[in-house]
Amino acid sequence: MSLPKTLQQTFSPEEIQFIVENEPIRIFPRITVRSTVRQRRQRSSQQQMRWRLVTAEETPLNNMVATQTTEVALWLALLLKQQGKCSIVPPVWLTLKQLQMYIDYELKNPGRFSDLPMSWLVVAQLLFNRAADDLQDPVHLLRGKIQDLREIRQGKIFQGLKQLNESHLQLDNLSILEINELRPFVLGVMNKLKDLHASVADEEEGA
Amino acid sequence: MYGDLVNKLVLEAKRAQQLNESSKSEHLPMYQDDLVRNTLREIEQLKRDAELLKSQQELNQVEDKVARCQHFVTLLCMERNKRGLLAYQKLRSDTLDAMAWNKHGLDSVTALAAGEGADASLSHQEEEYLKDYTQIIADMKSGEFTDIDLSGSLTPPSDVFIDVRVLKDAGEIQTEYGVFNLIKDSQFFARQADVERLIQQGFLQRL
Amino acid sequence: MSYYDIDDILADSTKVPCKFNCSVPGLGYLEGNAGHPIKKDSKAELPLWLARILAIIGAETVENEEEELPFVELMVPDLFSSRVLNAIKSSPTSLDVHSLSAHFYELAIKWATLFSDRRLVNVLNTMMIERAQEVNNHALSIPADSAPALQSGTFLLTLDEFEKRIFRDSHTSYKDMKSWMLRK
Amino acid sequence: MDIDIDDILAELDRDTTAVDQTLTSQGNDTTVVGSDAVGDLVAKQQAAAAQTAAPPSPVQDFNDLLVAWRNERMCPEILAYPHLLMARTLRRVQQQMEHIECVSMGFYEDETRDAASAVANKLPLLCMEADLERLKFVVRSYIRCRLSKVDKFSLYLRQLDTQQPVPLTELLSSKELEYHERHFTILLKLLNSTILKHMPPELQAIDDNEGSVPMVEGPDLASFVFVRVTGPDLGRSAPDTDPTLEINDEGVRFYPVYIQELREEVELTVDGIYVMRYNVVQELVQARKAILI
């Protein structure tokens, strides 16, 4: 088979990360790339290197000015960060205070999920590992909050699995990684329930 | 009982399938030549029975119903045998496909070419099939997909450059982008795409 | 269901009790009595792939007979006896499904299809959902690096092939997720 | 429609010193609870598309490719091959490889002359290589996924050829068609030589659907999928432009769908996430009003 069995039914967490890495995030560049038209003319012979990209917007990169925030794809931000060329502006929800608010919401509403961004778990994990010094609060405390959120939500998800049926489920505000983790179980059971009910469907048709 | 023989074959297939699933790689146990041949023989026998029944029926006009019941049984036994045989062979060819897409394909094809395939677990026809399929893949990779490397890694690129350690001495290795001198336990910083193959082949380990 | 599906082929080899509605010479081998005829009203255990078809086709209606019986009549196998169904209803998670049949759900679906057995479907619906929660709990809690089947306690040994697949797939998913979370 | 390479080149080479309007207008980091970044990205592309002429920008194409890849991976059937998108993408990969090669040659020449500018130039090169690897990965994974489906539905696709509303040549690329034909041929050769030819002629078919188990497997369109309802054109167009969208009593926009097998009506709200039978959302996915996730 041209695609390994494990990838035929679901995505790997790395693939989910890849998808999320295309989302935009704000950075503080530490370098200036933008040059004035005059500067460019002067060095027309010796070409200044430009970014030319095929998967992400190149304009913000070519217009980078040190300390002026701009927005680039997450993977680019991480790469520039790795090279010491920028710091990353963490998303506003990634603070102890905000996360605590989400935790409170999750606890208060056992039947619902807070509207964290679809990519919260991936973004948090990537920034913890690769841009810890850009975060507002100590990373070990933030990690703790994210872990709490994950556990509370997972508990609720598992409660919700009792609702599996042969018709459909609505799962608003579940993040992309949480969905992916659940996928084999949810689809496996629901497809079997569907087959089970389909076995007597003809009788209903006749009735 | 008719169909018992082919059941053994299907159980054999089930075992192979389980082994591949638990080890997350492809193995092919020895091709069950005897079982396949004996099952085919059983089909021949059934076919003779069916013809005998038919001629008897034409001769002495036995109770129509009884003859047809006997006839059905032989027919179903033949069908069952056919399904088992095809499923056995199909599972094996699927495994061969998977092998051809990863390094095992290269290895086994090279081994076959070098005449080491004599005691292999493949049947002669399977060797042929693997060779043909490897050629199809090679042709797929050329033309408009030349730049894509279709048999390359299905793990998303997370870092362009990675640290690697050399696991075994291999002297100088020529890659698309330059020469690496592989000395055991040395470490270097390389473009991931350049060393992907060497990692797959077990020369390098990603750090 | 795919023609080439190994599990479906194996499920089809399950023997089910049948009663013959007519005597047939030369089919004695079906009841382990080769060379002899099988007699009307005699019982035999036939594999499902054979029984299923013999139970729905019979002689075509001969002019003066109003209704033709099929060649065989399927009898309820132990698997779906009221004893078993009651056991399922009282405590689905303590039932040893694997010892009943390695392809329990698959067979149940086939059986329900043959007999439009809505009662069976309803019992199994509840059973599947309840047992699945338990399967999921095990899939999540078993450490990523251990060989699950060995130290799993008794519940995992009671799974049928469908449940095993769900267990394996979910376990892999949780395991992959855990190792992704630990990555730097 | 022909793909105009010059347009693509012009697009790629456009002057980048101009102040980017889309950039200054983006202030979404003040929202407290994270908005959907995909939606933001889409809005941004929309703005970018409005600025430039007809041919889609590389980023637009990449995002469409991502959607195609994600849908294909999670979808039980094989979706139509995006011929134009793939032609542009493959062309772009080739051109970008050439471009990177040029730049890196210049970069090494530079090094001897002007060490400072060489260091400055290393970073863009690094980014461009990473960028290209990402595009190649998606193409590779996408094609490999499609090939696995071509194999899975090999016989089914052969039978489709005649009765399909979308002809097979539209559904598959020419390379996929070739692969389909050749792989089927060698598989048939294998099955023939080991099994079929040793059996009575009436048992030799491999596409016999009249036996007790049908031999040809098509996609199970009723399989469950995870789907996110995005609204028209993956949320790029305003909801008002879609006549199939309805509004319920609470003012929520939804697509009414019907689960045939259960005779059940469901309201799929925009931005909602569902586990649903694929055949129920098939049209929404194909019309780019929902994405499989």
pLDDT by residue (tens digit) across C14-26? 999 999 888 887 7
A161, part of any domain: yes
pLDDT in tens, D124-157: 888 999 999 999 999 999 999 999 999 999 999 9
Query: How high is the pLDDT of residue B59?
Result: 75
pLDDT, one tens digit per residue, over A27-69 is 999 998 887 666 666 654 445 568 899 999 999 999 999 989 9
Taking each helix axis as running N to C, give the angle between helix D58-74 and helix D83-113, from 0 to 180 degrees, rounded to the nearest 10: 130
**Spatial contact of A164 and A193, defined as CB atoms under 8 Å apart:** yes
C-alpha span between A81 and A95 (Å, rounded): 20
Domain that holds residue A69: 12-33+52-89
* pLDDT band at B112; cut points 50, 70, 90: low
Stronger pLDDT, D227 or A2, i.e. the higher one: D227
Binning chain D into helix, strand and coil, the percentages to the nearest 5 are 60, 10, 30
Is a pLDDT exceeding 60 seen at residue C60? no
Position D245 scores a pLDDT of 93
Of C93 and C28, more confident: C93
Burial of C80 (0-12, 13-18, 19+ CB in 10 A): buried
Interface test with C, best of D155, D213, D215, D217 (most C CBs within 10 A): D213
**N- to C-terminal Cα separation, chain B:** 58
Instruction: State how far the Cα of C69 lies from the Cα of C71, in Å rounded to an integer.
Output: 6
Are residues A150 and A111 both part of a single domain?
yes
The CA distance from D148 to D154, in Å, is 10
Would you place residue C82 in the very low, low, confident or very high pLDDT band (cuts 50, 70, 90)? Answer: very high
CA Rg value for chain B: 25
pLDDT given at position A118: 95
Partner B contacted by C166 (CB < 8 A): no
Are A101 and A132 found together in one domain?
A: yes
Q: Do the chains contact at B10 and C6, CB–CB below 8 Å?
A: yes
Nearest CA in chain C to D212: C53
DSSP code at position B157: P
Angstrom distance (rounded) from CA C181 to CA A13 = 9
What's the rounded mean pLDDT across residues A122-136? Answer: 96
Across the interface, whether the CB atoms of B156 and A4 are under 8 A apart is answered no
Cross-chain CB nearest to D212 (options C2, C4, C53)? C53
The reply to whether A123 and A77 lie within a common domain is no
The number of distinct structural domains making up chain A is: 2
pTM, two decimals, is 0.88
Mean pLDDT, chain D, whole residue set: 82
Same domain, A111 and A189: yes
β pairing state of A86-88 and B161-166: unpaired
Query: B116-137, pLDDT tens digit by residue?
Result: 444 468 999 999 999 999 999 9
ipTM of the complex: 0.90
pLDDT for A1 equals 83
In chain C, the percentage of residues whose pLDDT exceeds 90 is 64
Q: Please indicate, yes or no, if residue A128 is contained in any of the structural domains.
A: yes
Residue D28 has pLDDT above 50, yes or no: no
Ordered by start, the domain boundaries in chain B are 4-142, 161-206
The arithmetic mean of pLDDT across residues D196-207, rounded, is 94
Q: Are residues A177 and A202 in the same domain?
A: yes
Subunit contact A181:C124, Cβ cutoff 8 A: no
Give the other-Cβ count within 10 Å of D51's Cβ: 12
**Tokens for A165?**
């049926």
**pLDDT at position B200:** 81
A115/A190 same-domain check: yes
Residue B23 at interface with chain A, using a CB cutoff of 8 Å:
no
Which of C25, C26, C47 minimises the CB distance to B3? C47
Lowest mean pLDDT among C164-173, D14-23, D150-159: D14-23
- Tokens linked to B32: 């069950």
pLDDT tens-digit profile of B123-182? Answer: 999 999 999 999 999 999 999 999 999 998 899 987 767 778 888 887 877 665 556 778
Please check whether residues A190 and A174 belong to one and the same domain.
yes
Q: What residue type is assigned to position B2 of the chain? A: Y
Spatial neighbors of D77 by CB under 8 A, at least 6 apart, are D149, D153, D219, D221, D278
Percent of chain A surpassing pLDDT 70: 90
Give chain C's domains with CATH numbers.
15-75 (1.20.58.2050), 76-183 (1.20.58.2050)
Flag if D66 and A19 touch (Cβ within 8 Å).
yes
Count contacts between B and C (CB, < 8 Å): 70
d(C-alpha B75, C-alpha D237), whole Å: 59
CB pair distance less than 8 Å for B154 and A18:
no
Q: What are phi and psi of B154, to 5 degrees?
A: -100, 10
pLDDT at A152 over 60: yes
Mark whether A161 and A107 lie in a shared domain.
yes
**pLDDT higher than threshold 70 for residue D246:** yes
Average pLDDT value for residue range D116-126: 69
Query: In this predicted structure, what is the pLDDT of residue C169?
Result: 95
**What CATH number does residue A96 fall under?**
1.20.58.1020
Are A16 and A70 in the same domain?
Answer: yes
Using CA atoms, how far residue C114 sits from A202, C39, C50, C160, in Å, is 11, 25, 13, 21
- Give mean pLDDT, residues D31-49: 46
Task: Quote the CA–CA distance of B21 and D98 in Å, as a whole number.
Answer: 41
Give the Cα separation of C122 and C103 in Å (integer). Answer: 18
At the topology level, CATH places domain D58-203 in Methane Monooxygenase Hydroxylase; Chain G, domain 1 (1.20.58)
CB contact under 8 A, A52 and D96: yes
**Residue contact D131–A55, C-beta within 8 A:** yes
Given a cut of 70, whether residue C146 has pLDDT beyond it is no
User: What is the rounded (10 degree) CA torsion for D142, A8, B85, C56?
Assistant: -120
> Are A61 and A153 found together in one domain?
no
| Residue at A41 is within a domain | no
8 Å CB contact of C136 and A185: yes
Task: Using a pLDDT cut of 70, give the percent of chain D over it.
Answer: 75
Residue pair D30/A50 in contact (Cβ under 8 Å)? The answer is no
pLDDT band (50, 70, 90) for residue A100: very high
Whole-number pLDDT of residue D57: 94
Distance CA B117, CA B109 (A): 9
Fold of B4-142: Methane Monooxygenase Hydroxylase; Chain G, domain 1 (1.20.58)
How far, in Å, CA of D246 to CA of D257, rounded?
11
Tell me the two tokens of residue D99: 């471009």
DSSP chain A: --S-HHHHHS--HHHHHHHHTTSEEEEEESS-----HHHHHHTSSSPPP----SSS--HHHHT--TTS-EEEEHHHHHHHHHTTSEEE---TT-SHHHHHHHHHHHHH-TT------TTHHHHHHHHHHH-GGGSSS-HHHHHHHHHHHHHHHHHHHHHHGGG--SS-EE-TT--HHHHHHHHHHHHHHHHHHHHHHHTTHHHHHH-
Condensed to tens digits (0 to 9), the pLDDT of residues D252-275 reads 999 999 999 999 999 999 999 999
Per-position b or e across A156-183, b if 16+ CB within 10 A of its CB: bbeebbeebbbbbbebebbbbbbbbbbb
In terms of DSSP H, where are the helices of C69-160? Answer: 82-90, 97-100, 104-115, 118-141
Which one has a higher pLDDT value, D235 or D25?
A: D235
> Could you give the count of Cα atoms lying within 13 Å of B108 in the half-sphere of its Cβ?
28
User: Would the pLDDT of D39 be above 80?
Assistant: no
- In this prediction, residue B58 carries a pLDDT of 76
Task: Enter the tokens of residue D3.
Answer: 């793909």
- Please determine, for residue D211, whether its predicted confidence score (pLDDT) is greater than 60: yes
Distance from CA of C129 to the nearest CA of D (A): 16
Chain D residues close to B82, C-beta within 8 Å: 195, 199, 203
* Consecutive H or E run containing D246: strand D246-247
Residue A182 sits at the chain C interface (C-beta within 8 Å) = yes
By the 8 A CB rule, do C38 and C30 touch?
yes
Over residues B40-99, the pLDDT tens digits come to 999 999 999 888 888 877 776 656 777 788 888 999 999 999 999 999 999 999 999 999
Interface of B with A in 64-103 (CB under 8 A): 94, 97-98, 101
Q: What is the pLDDT of residue D117?
A: 56
User: What b/e string do you get for A6-43 counting C-beta neighbours within 10 Å, with b at 16 or more?
Assistant: bbeebbbbebbbbbbbbbbbbbebeeebbbeeeeeeee
- Do the domain assignments include residue A21? yes
Does residue A72 sit in the same domain as residue A117? no
Same domain, A77 and A103: no
pLDDT tens-place string over residues B27-41: 889 999 999 999 999
Whether A193 maps to a domain, the answer reads yes
Q: Do A18 and D266 touch (CB under 8 A)?
A: no
The answer to whether residue A44 is domain-embedded is: no
B158 and A18 within 8 Å at the Cβ level: the answer is yes
Contact predicate D145/D79, CB 8 Å: no
pLDDT digits (tens, 9 = 90+) for D186-197: 999 999 999 999
Q: Does C23 touch chain A (CB under 8 A)?
A: no
Alpha-carbon span D262 to C48, nearest angstrom: 29
Q: Supply the DSSP symbol for B25.
A: S
- List the end-to-end C-alpha distance of chain A, in Å, as a whole number: 44
Query: CA D77 → CA B199, C119, C154, D72, D286, distances in Å?
Result: 34, 33, 39, 8, 12
- Lookup result for tokens 């998977």: B98
- The pLDDT-based confidence of D36 (bands split at 50, 70, 90) is very low
Q: What is the CATH number of the domain that holds A71?
A: 3.40.5.50
pLDDT-derived band at D48 (thresholds 50, 70, 90) equals: low
Domain boundaries, chain D: 58-203, 224-292
Nearest to D34 by CA among A148, A70, A91: A91
Q: Does a structural domain hold residue A152?
A: yes
**Does residue D109 register a pLDDT over 80?**
no
